[in-house]
């Protein structure tokens, strides 16, 4: 019953094609919308909103850039879309992405790759992924704000490649009801815009961060929200009272020298503006990428099991097939290669023979990563009690004590990506592993559930933008955004 054919409206489709960036999904409005719009909040101001194609909308199909969901129109709307409509949003279209959010260049899509508007005429470069269409939509002025999802960097990476602001909220802050899950323990829905202000306004002026959603079991309760908010300073102090940490492990050999210089220049500029800059060590950083790709694939393999041609998704071609044949035909034809790869990887890592060596180890790494972050931030993580007497933790702490220094920073500053946007034709030739490498700086904050923003560095040195990432303690989102505004 959830599947209705979407009727493309010709004028809508033409509008999207005019820019040749393939950032909007070529599917027209469904008429009439399936539910009445929510009443406007007192502080609502009209704005144009682009919505990633894995977020359910009443007036457009939601297909996750996947063949298996072709023609799928959701019978309900995502909470975040309704919340933004109540704040004045008009949905202008659905944006292109990597299928189910799996990818780093918005190339794994039935609609074809998204092209970065900063490309030279004959040499298309990556717009980043998986929310590439959302970032391009705001950078071309087709939308004022765009919704994306960030599991391991899918908002920050496209923001970095296109010069946008990309905000990944604290895990559990913004409702994911109506957002097609990829890896539940990592998924967040967040915002992309050209400037920080429209995003900050949604949080500060219209209190988007305060709304619990009973439909999303991972949405923090009102009581916990209040407790977390009390744990964070309400406003951003003067620069002289702020400390920004430079995580030394992010200075990897593969980091592009121009990006390294831009990062250092941004730190110097902050220092000149009175901010204290200190080096910090997050020793578990180098394990984060492996842990992420194990956990994300494991959760994805479980999430995507529902697309079996019976309950959800377009059914495989042979009408008389049943059972395993029906499933394999449906999935074989409906999923793209990268999605299949993740399902196989994830299923393997959850199998009894591999579970202990892969999945369980990755969970342990995840805990250590969170602990690393908690140690360097001045604020305590409001979700967890201060360290209990855990002997193995204490031994690890002692071994690393001289490397780390005391907990003291308000924010961490790093590049968002280790390299500039690659050419699309190179991306299409390279292996998936190369694409995974681009997430090396974004996945640690994802694993720890922390808020992070990518913003374009002020630099005259390069033709292409360099994204800088600010990470903050859990629920310190407004100060992270405030700091991003100061830095931009």
Q: Where in the sequence numbering do the catalytic residues fall?
A: 52, 130, 154
Part in contact with ligand GLN (CB under 6 A); list of ranges 143-151, 229-237, 317-325, 380-388? 143-151
Give residues 280-309 in contact with ligand GLN (rule: CB under 6 A): 296
Give the integer Cα–Cα distance in Å for 94 and 74: 13
Q: Which two tokens stand for residue 344?
A: 């196989």
Closest CA to 367 of 352, 348, 381: 381
Residue 169 binds to ligand GLN (criterion: CB under 6 A): no
Contact 50, 24 (CB under 8 A): yes
Show the binding pattern over residues 405-444: x = contacts ligand GLN (CB under 6 A), - = does not: ----------------------------------x-----
Show the binding pattern over residues 31-50: x = contacts ligand GLN (CB under 6 A), - = does not: --------------------
Give the integer Cα–Cα distance in Å for 305 and 331: 9
155 vs 267 by CB, closer to ligand GLN: 155
Show the binding pattern over residues 241-280: x = contacts ligand GLN (CB under 6 A), - = does not: ----------------------------------------
Residue 372 binds to ligand GLN (criterion: CB under 6 A): no
142 vs 150 by CB, closer to ligand GLN: 150
Contact 90, 57 (CB under 8 A): no
13 vs 350 by CB, closer to ligand GLN: 350
Give residues 185-244 in contact with ligand GLN (rule: CB under 6 A): none
H, E, C per residue of 369-413 = HHHHHHHHECCCCCCCCCCCCCHHHHHHHHHHHHHHCCCCECEEE
| Beta strands across the sheet bearing 411-415 | 89-95, 47-52, 145-150, 188-193, 165-168, 452-456, 467-472, 411-415, 243-247, 276-280
Q: Which two tokens stand for residue 248?
A: 């030394």
59 vs 150 by CB, closer to ligand GLN: 150
Residue 132 binds to ligand GLN (criterion: CB under 6 A): no
Q: How far is the CB of 53 from ligand GLN (least distance, A)?
A: 12
Positions of E strands within 154-297: 165-168, 188-193, 243-247, 276-280
Residue 102 binds to ligand GLN (criterion: CB under 6 A): yes
What is the contact surface with ligand GLN in residues (CB under 6 A)?
101-104, 130, 149-154, 182, 296, 439
């Amino acid at each position: 019953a959830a599947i209705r054919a979407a009727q493309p409206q010709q004028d809508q489709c033409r509008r999207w094609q005019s820019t040749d960036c393939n950032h909007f999904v070529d599917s027209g409005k469904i008429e009439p919308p399936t539910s009445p719009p929510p009443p406007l909040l007192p502080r609502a101001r009209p704005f144009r909103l682009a919505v990633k194609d894995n977020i359910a909308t009443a007036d457009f199909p939601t297909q996750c850039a996947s063949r298996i969901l072709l023609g799928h129109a959701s019978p309900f709307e995502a909470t975040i879309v309704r919340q933004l409509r109540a704040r004045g949003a008009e949905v202008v279209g659905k944006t292109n992405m990597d299928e189910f959010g799996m990818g780093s260049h918005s190339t794994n899509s039935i609609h074809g790759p998204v092209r970065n508007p900063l490309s030279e005429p004959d040499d298309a470069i990556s717009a980043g992924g998986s929310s590439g269409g959302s970032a391009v939509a705001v950078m071309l002025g087709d939308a004022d704000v765009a919704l994306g999802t960030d599991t391991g960097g899918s908002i920050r990476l496209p923001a970095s490649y296109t010069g946008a602001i990309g905000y990944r909220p604290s895990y559990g802050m913004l409702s994911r009801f109506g957002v097609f899950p990829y890896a539940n323990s990592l998924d967040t829905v967040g915002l992309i815009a050209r400037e920080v202000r429209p995003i900050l306004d949604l949080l500060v002026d219209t209190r988007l961060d305060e709304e619990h959603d009973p439909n999303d079991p991972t949405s923090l309760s009102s009581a916990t929200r209040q407790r977390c908010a009390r744990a964070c300073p309400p406003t951003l102090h003067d620069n002289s009272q702020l400390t920004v940490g430079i995580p030394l492990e992010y200075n990897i050999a593969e980091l592009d020298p121009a990006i390294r210089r831009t990062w250092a220049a941004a730190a110097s500029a902050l220092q000149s503006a009175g901010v204290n800059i200190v080096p910090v060590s997050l020793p578990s950083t180098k394990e984060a990428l492996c842990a992420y790709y194990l956990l994300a694939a494991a959760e994805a393999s479980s999430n995507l099991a529902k697309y079996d041609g019976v309950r959800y998704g377009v059914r495989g071609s042979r009408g008389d097939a049943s059972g395993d044949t029906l499933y394999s035909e449906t999935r074989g034809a409906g999923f793209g290669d990268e999605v299949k790869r993740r399902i196989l990887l994830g299923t393997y890592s959850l199998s009894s023979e591999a579970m202990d060596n892969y999945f369980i180890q990755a969970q342990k790494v995840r805990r250590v990563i969170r602990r690393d972050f908690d140690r360097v931030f001045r604020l305590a993580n409001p979700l967890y009690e201060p360290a209990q007497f855990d002997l193995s933790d204490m031994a690890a702490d002692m071994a690393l004590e001289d490397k780390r220094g005391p907990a003291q920073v308000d924010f961490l500053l790093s590049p968002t990506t280790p390299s500039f946007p690659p050419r699309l034709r190179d991306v299409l030739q390279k292996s998936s592993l190369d694409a995974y490498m681009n997430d090396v700086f974004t996945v640690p904050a994802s694993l720890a559930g922390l808020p992070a923003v990518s913003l374009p560095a002020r630099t005259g040195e390069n033709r292409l933008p360099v994204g800088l990432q600010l990470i903050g303690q859990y629920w310190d989102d407004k100060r992270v955004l405030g700091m991003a505004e100061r830095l931009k």
